Amino acid sequence: MSGAGRRFSRWPSGLLAAAGFGALLVFAAFAPEFLPDPDPSRAWQGPGEMPPFGADDRGRSLWVYATQGASILAWPALLAGFVVALLAVFGGVVRATGAARLDGWVQGMGEVVGALPRMVVVLVVALIVPADSRSLYPLAVTWALLAAPGAMDEAAAVAERLGGSRFVEALRAHGYSAARIFLLHIVGYNLRPVVVRQAAEVSMQVVFLELALSYLALAGDRPSLTHADSVMSWAGLLSQGYTWLVIDMESGHALALGLGLIALVTGASLAVSHAARAR
């Protein structure tokens, strides 16, 4: 690929990622605080009769599901990505500095944390959080901390491939300051693809975690572990849409919207990783 081709290959995926995450945040910003009143006469109306996405089994707009669902998970997912990115950068920089004792301690902690069963720990945290403070934030941060050792390991491996102190030494001999060497040359130019990909993956995992927990709660007719009962998760779309598959209810549009939103998050996450890899 030519140099010009490489330079511009970042833009389509970068724009796609920005559009995806932008849409998620816009949805979250427009989320109403409460569900609208039911209107049984409009039950299962399609997008043509009730724009933009149609209605649910009680005649409530699916737009509310999309926006409230986004408000539940957008910021916790981004926070989880940020936590993982920060810890991955830490792991990479520690390896690049050649601080053997700290690196050993970080690796040891990583092995202990990495060995914990992630889903079990998340469920324990979910049950510890008082019912009236239910939120995705503690679960997202827990998930991020449990996912961090893998990200730190990968970032450290990249830093090691740089040649460790020899690479730093060469840059220092060129007159670059320590801040510029570590922040720009090591983190910015070399760790960036790994850090961004890991952060995007963990953000996406938090979205799936919320969907899974909320779907289980809906299926078991129990209160959600991730949000108050006054708001609807995207899992509600999947739960309603599922009836179209099994008993031929007219809820196909709900399933399409739920899957479309999942595709939006997945696409945005993949696009972020691709944009970070491009030069």
Q: What are the residues binding other proteins (CB under 8 A)?
A: 2-3, 6, 161-163, 166-167, 169-177, 185, 189-190, 192-193, 279
Question: Which C-beta is closer to other proteins: that of 145 or that of 278?
Answer: 278
Beta carbons within 8 Å of 119's beta carbon, 6+ residues apart: none
CB 5, min distance to other proteins, A: 9
CB 219, min distance to other proteins, A: 46
Question: Which C-beta is closer to other proteins: that of 55 or that of 276?
Answer: 276
CB 245, min distance to other proteins, A: 47
Question: Which C-beta is closer to other proteins: that of 185 or that of 253?
Answer: 185
Question: Which C-beta is closer to other proteins: that of 163 or that of 223?
Answer: 163
Question: Which C-beta is closer to other proteins: that of 7 or that of 245?
Answer: 7
- Rounded Cα gap, residues 232 and 246, in angstroms: 22
CB 263, min distance to other proteins, A: 31
CB 178, min distance to other proteins, A: 9
